[in-house]
Structure formats: structure tokens, C-alpha cells
Amino acid sequence: MNGSGPGPLIVGCDSMFLFDGECYGKPHDEATARERLRRMRGRSGELWTGHCIIDFATGRAIQDASRAIVYFGEYTDEDIDRYIATGEPLEVAGSFTLEGFGGAFIDRIDGDPHGVIGISLPLLRRLVSKLGMRWTDLWNVEPHAPNPEEQDKHPDSVLPPLENVHQPGDGWVSCACGRRHWGTHGAAGILLARRNADGEVTHVAMQHRAQWSAEGGTWGIPGGAIADNETPIEGALRESFEEANITPQDIEVVGSYREDHGPWAYTTVFAFEKPGHEVRLRANDDESMEIAWVPVGEVPNRKLLTAMRTDWQRFADRLHGLAAANRAR
């Protein structure tokens, strides 16, 4: 079922203009703006715009700067006076803007033009991917919205089968993080690990998600919406049995991690296959192309669900830690 997607992000940016070896912030007063605009006339300088993203779900912060060389045209002293009279140059880095009155005095820009206006979208996209998220997952658009009427017309298209409709708890939640998540009571899934005779984690049970589902074709863990009157662990156990034939009598629950967004949360339940038992994974419904034991070292090489890609390293560390604690017992 649907995962949590990227957590809430906070983005900040600020600019400085480098000219003649000096760093120009906002001029604040008319005299400073006039003096700078005279010096910049017919010449060029570098605008640097620093960006910082904080991922609230993990606390990670990442930063980088966008750079553009700005070439000014020849303008008159009268142009400068009239420009200052608009008030526009006083509270902007370097005493000019591209998107306002000042744009008429800028002949050309080399480099990243976005940073001259404000936030640089291509730079943000690169930063977000370093945080393990996909830029397009941040777009506030519904992924693969099922449309039963369309499905009747195109039975072979990648849409959910008609009987896959509603049970209590199914439904989208508009979340505080600006995205929509699946499960009116939240969602939960099982990260089930298999261990070798020495008690070390060797494999995890993963779900290759059906094309019609959110982020179709990626790998995640079996799970889904929590039903009425269910705890997250009960929901995870029920969903993983329904989806993946993870039989509760063959596993032990060893921990959980709750990613809480306020109106919605995703609970990842950590579990081990019991010694001497065997969970026979099977794709029990049409939400999976495949359910498989994936060697633990191979997981990062799979095309992962965004939420799983974000959390995998932490989850893997936790599984190995839980296995070690079990061995020491």
C-alpha cells in the first residue's frame, strides 16, 4: 500500500552580490544604493544565493549556493534617481532585481537565473535528491488517482482492479506536511528480517509494488492503511498477511518506528522470522508484482519507494542492532 513519502521540509535562501571583490547585501539607504548603481553601470558582478533545506523527519540539513553573473547595461544618473525613487533597490541584495523595475537595466545573465529572482528550483531539486527524495514526489498532485470509469474503457491499463475499493480506514488524508497520505487512521507496514544460524540478518521481505499503486514499480515493505479499532501493529500484521502471506505465528515483533506527521503517521514494525520457522512469502493480492526475500546488502540497489529510500540506512542499522541484542541474550 502507499508509503509515507517525503517528510516536511523547511527551505531557506539568501543572496549576496559580489562586485569588485566586495560583498553587497541590501543597501538599506538611498546614498548607498546610488553609489553602487553608479559603479555597477556597464559592468558585471556575481550573485550568490545560498540555499538550505532541513528535513524535519530526520533532522538532516543540507546546503549549497547558486551562482549567476549579472551584466548591467548603460543607464543614466537620472535612471538611477528614478529607480531609487521606486524604493525597489533599497531592500534587495546588490541594489537590483531582475523581475522588477531593475530588470530593464540588466542586459544579460550567465549561470543560474533562478537565484537572481529567489529560490533556485534546479538547485533545490539537486539538494532534495541528496536527501534521498525525488523532486517530483514533492509536487502536490495525486499520484495515479484511480478512476473506475476509465478502467472500464481500458481494461489493460495500469489501474487498480474494481473490487479493490474500500474498507474502513481506507482513504486519503491531507497532511500537515502539505502532501496526501493513504489511511485515515494512518498506515503501517512490516519490515521482516530473516537471520542465519549465527543470528545475523541476511534478508528482508520486500514488496515489488504494482504499477497502478502510488510510486508503482518501486520496492517497499508490505503494509497499508490501519483499519477501525486496530493498533498500528495489528494493522501491519493484518496487511502483511493479506498482501504477502507473512504468517503471524512464524514471526516475532521486535520493535517499531513511528513517523508522525500529526494528522497522519506511518508505523514501521520490525520483525524477525522465528528460529526454526519459515515464512513462505507470496503475493496474495494485486497490489504486488512480487514479494521476495531480498539480500539485505542488495536493498539499496533496488529502485526503492521514496520513504524507504529515505529511511533504509537507519532501518538497516536498527535491524542489525536488534539482531545483535538478540544474540547477546
Contact residues: Zn ion, CB under 5 A: 175, 177, 261
Cβ closest to Zn ion, residue 68 vs residue 133: 133
Spatial contact of 90 and 27, defined as CB atoms under 8 Å apart: yes
Residue type for position 6? P
Active site residue 260: no
The CB-of-175 to Zn ion minimum distance in angstroms stands at 3
CA dist., res. 223 & res. 241, Å (int): 9
Cβ closest to Zn ion, residue 115 vs residue 183: 183
The CB-of-293 to Zn ion minimum distance in angstroms stands at 30
The CB-of-261 to Zn ion minimum distance in angstroms stands at 3
CA dist., res. 48 & res. 58, Å (int): 28
Residue nearest to Zn ion as judged by C-beta position: 175
CA dist., res. 83 & res. 75, Å (int): 10
CA dist., res. 4 & res. 306, Å (int): 8
CA dist., res. 304 & res. 296, Å (int): 13
CA dist., res. 283 & res. 85, Å (int): 70
The CB-of-177 to Zn ion minimum distance in angstroms stands at 3
Closest CA to 82 of 101, 106, 108: 101
Active-site residue (options: 14, 20, 152, 260): 14
Cβ closest to Zn ion, residue 177 vs residue 193: 177
Cβ closest to Zn ion, residue 66 vs residue 310: 310
Question: Coil, helix or strand for 204?
Answer: strand
The CB-of-257 to Zn ion minimum distance in angstroms stands at 15
CA dist., res. 92 & res. 99, Å (int): 12
Q: In this structure, what are the phi and psi dihedrals at residue 64, rounded to the nearest 5 degrees? A: -165, 170
To which residue does cell 501493529 refer?
233
CB atoms within 10 A of CB 1: 22
Cβ closest to Zn ion, residue 45 vs residue 223: 223
Catalytic sites, residue numbers: 14
